[in-house]
Amino acid sequence: MSLVFTGIQKSYRDPSGKSFNVLGPMDLRVDTGEFLCLLGPTGCGKTTLLRILSGLEEPDSGNISLSSGRLGYVFQQGALFPWMTVEANVMFPLKATGVLESECRTRAAEILDLVGLHEFRKSFPHELSGGMQQRTALARGLVTEPDLLLLDEPFASLDTRTGINLQEMLRSICNRSSATVIFVTHNIEEAVFLADRIVVMGHRPGRIVRDELLDIKWPRNRLSSSFTEVLLSFRQTFEELVDPSVTLSS
């Protein structure tokens, strides 16, 4: 699925009623099958943009052009239904679109096996670790075989090792599909490991300050010189967003 948005802008009101612009205007094109990371500091409008793309929010102005297809969404905290088992959580988006019970179970079993949760399919969310909960949320986002997969900092609350494991699992799954992926993060290393392309967003209001295709071969080695070079380059961009007077060489 490809998408193009033009002039997207979003404002909110503070408690006093004063309007402030949090996003845009922004223009961006994402091609079919591309894994794009939206990278930027907290408050730059990354999640707002994702919610607009998913239809959860409406922009104040601008246009979005999407080719037809299925949409998957993985939230930052998983957003699992606590009264449902792992299997039922994963089956939910299929049932919501009228898929037969037997097919729901078959497809849920396939994706749970893929993310290593088949033996926990009858467990409830509170019985799982944080990493397992996020794997469940990822399975639910993937079970519909989406053409466009939106992920909002899904690994941000996890420890480093668990986060790395899930990054590797996600990229492996996406390498086998033709889905277009938009992944929101403020973690520079995560973005450099996952992305075909990184779009860096600045804030006040949210806007694009850097847009770059990554020329790092797969599989990616986080300790390689090519990886480190790209990582440091984006880290400098990030630092200058926070404080324009700061650079890595200072």
- pLDDT recorded at residue 75: 86
CA distances from 129 to 139, 157, 158, 171 (A): 15, 12, 10, 21
Task: Show the CA angle centred on residue 48, arms to residues 47 and 50, nearest 5°.
Answer: 60
Evaluate whether residue 73 is within a structural domain.
no
Specify the pLDDT at position 115: 92
Retrieve residue 210's tokens. 């850097």
Residue 214 placed within a domain: yes
Domain-located, residue 212? yes
Phi, psi of 183 (to 5 degrees): -120, 120
- For 249, the 3-state DSSP assignment is coil
Report pLDDT for 105. 95
**Structural domain of 31:** 1-62+184-250
Type of residue at 6? T
0.95 surpassed by pTM: no
Q: Is 81 helix (H, G, I), strand (E, B) or coil?
A: coil
CATH number at residue 235: 3.40.50.300
> What tokens appear for 54 in the block?
């998913």
Q: Assign residue 7 a region: left if phi > 0, alpha if psi is -120 to 50, beta otherwise?
A: left
Domain assignment present for residue 81? The answer is: no
- Is 69 a domain residue? no
Q: What is the pLDDT of residue 248?
A: 44
pLDDT computed for residue 164 by the predictor = 94
Contact in structure between 154 and 74 (CB atoms under 8 Å)? yes
Residue 133 is assigned to a structural domain of this protein = no
pLDDT of residue 244: 56
Number of domains in the chain: 1
pLDDT, tens digit only, all 250 positions of the chain? 789 999 999 998 888 888 888 898 999 999 999 999 999 988 889 999 999 998 899 999 999 998 778 899 998 876 899 999 999 999 999 999 899 999 999 999 999 999 999 999 999 999 999 999 999 999 999 999 999 999 999 999 899 999 999 999 999 999 888 899 999 999 999 999 999 999 999 987 899 999 999 999 888 999 999 999 999 999 999 888 866 554 444 3
128 located within any domain: no
